[in-house]
Amino acid sequence: MVKTPPAARPVNPRFSSGPCTKIPGFSLNMLSDAPLGRSHRAAIGKAKLKEAIDLTREILGVPAEYRIGIVPASDTGAVEMALWSLLGARPVEMLAWESFGEGWVTDVVKQLKLDASVKKAPYGEIVDFATVDFDKDVVFTWNGTTSGVRVPNGDAIPADRAGLTICDATSAAFAMDLPWDKLDVVTFSWQKVLGGEGGHGVLILSPRAAERLESHTPAWPLPKIFRMTKGGKLIEGIFVGETINTPSMLCVEDYLVALKWAQGIGGLKGLIARAGANARAVHDFIADKDWIANLAVDPATASTTSVCLKFTDARIRDGAAFAKAVAKRLEKEGVALDAGAYRDAPAGLRLWCGSTVEASDVAALMPWIEWAFEAEIAAQAN
């Protein structure tokens, strides 16, 4: 017999892994200072873009000598800019343990046609960094958004590496501590941890990456939106708010609002603490359950933002259909929207636990997942 649905419900049922839920208490009225209908090249537009870059540096603790640019096409655009502009100068090693990392492998091997060495790990695990050759350029995701695993720290990355480390950190930035001295290129989008609107990416370059841009000319043509140099010199304007193409000033204002909210809760430490508390609410609930488990094999690599779960009950006949039915039931009840696993990932649930999510909402959702599981087990038996 299926239990009665839980009495408590999440106040905010948005658990999508991107675009992610807005900051607590968000209102469109917060964006009233956006310079709509004004040029991004006007003084007010440049000032807003520069402020976004400065606040990003402050909250993330990005070293002063690193450059920060706002670029087109979300995190994907930022990663592609790095791959197409920087690679080809030396051997490349690609690391992949989920679908987005696999996508970067495809771009480098099949589009750029580089003879890259590729190291892969199955969903729920990461590549052993002790086996990676950092004298090569190394490309990897810090947090696997579709697999729920992350790099635990940068200890295995040598300080005296000869190659560049190119890190897709889109679901890690603002929720995890990134070791800047170990990373030469970091990319992310506003739509993840800070719940910003989609379409804009952020590209962060170390001095070593900037030097590579000025000393290396790719063997392939570069589209205009990828070009970061002119006459062999870095276009410095990109990194003070003079964007390559036209940004949405409404989205910039939204990002500024989120950054200032982050300042108000203690900056990076506060953001990390919130994501950690959210993930713990999930981990604590499933710890003693024999029908559900974290997709991450090693707790040390378990994500605190994109928490991926798998159903382990032996009674489940069709894992993919069962997981979809549970996610659909949760959505129908209005307690968890967009909580299904990513389409290329193993069947299960994916709960966004980033810093804009409230721990009370995560805790309220957990009994609903158990209720939906039992309801589907009963439905399967009929």
β-strand partners of 141:
168
Residue 7 lies in a domain: no
Positive or negative: CA dihedral 13, 18, 22, 24 = positive
Residue 106 and residue 55 in one domain: yes
Residues 148 and 162 in one domain: yes
- Tell me: do 135 and 274 sit in the same domain: no
Q: Are residues 355 and 231 in the same domain?
A: no
pLDDT per residue as tens digits for the range 128-180: 999 999 999 999 999 999 999 999 999 999 999 999 999 999 999 999 999 99
Is the predicted pLDDT of residue 235 greater than 90, yes or no?
A: yes
Pick from 263, 278, 300: which residue ends a domain? 263
**Residue 2: per-residue pLDDT:** 63
pLDDT of amino acid 1: 55
Q: Are residues 248 and 280 in the same domain?
A: no
Report the half-sphere exposure of 65 (CA within 13 A, side-chain side): 10
CA–CA gap between residue 187 and residue 198 (Å, rounded): 14
Same domain (yes/no): 150, 222: yes
CATH code assigned at 64: 3.40.640.10
Q: Which domain, by its residues, includes 123?
A: 33-263
Last residue of some domain: 239, 263, 287? 263
Calculate helix-pair angle for 43-60, 267-286, nearest 10 degrees. 60
Same domain, 211 and 240: yes
If one counts every other C-beta atom within 10 angstroms of the C-beta of residue 283, the result is 16
Q: Is 7 helix (H, G, I), strand (E, B) or coil?
A: coil
Question: Do residues 184 and 294 share a domain?
Answer: no
- Please check whether residues 247 and 297 belong to one and the same domain: no
pLDDT of residue 254: 98
Total number of domains in the chain: 2
Q: What is the pTM of this model?
A: 0.97
pLDDT, one tens digit per residue, over 30-89 is 999 999 999 999 999 999 999 999 999 999 999 999 999 999 999 999 999 999 999 999
Is 289 found in the same domain as 197?
no
Same domain, 196 and 305: no
pLDDT at position 129: 98
- Asked if 255 and 241 sit in the same domain, the reply is yes
Is position 11 within any domain? no
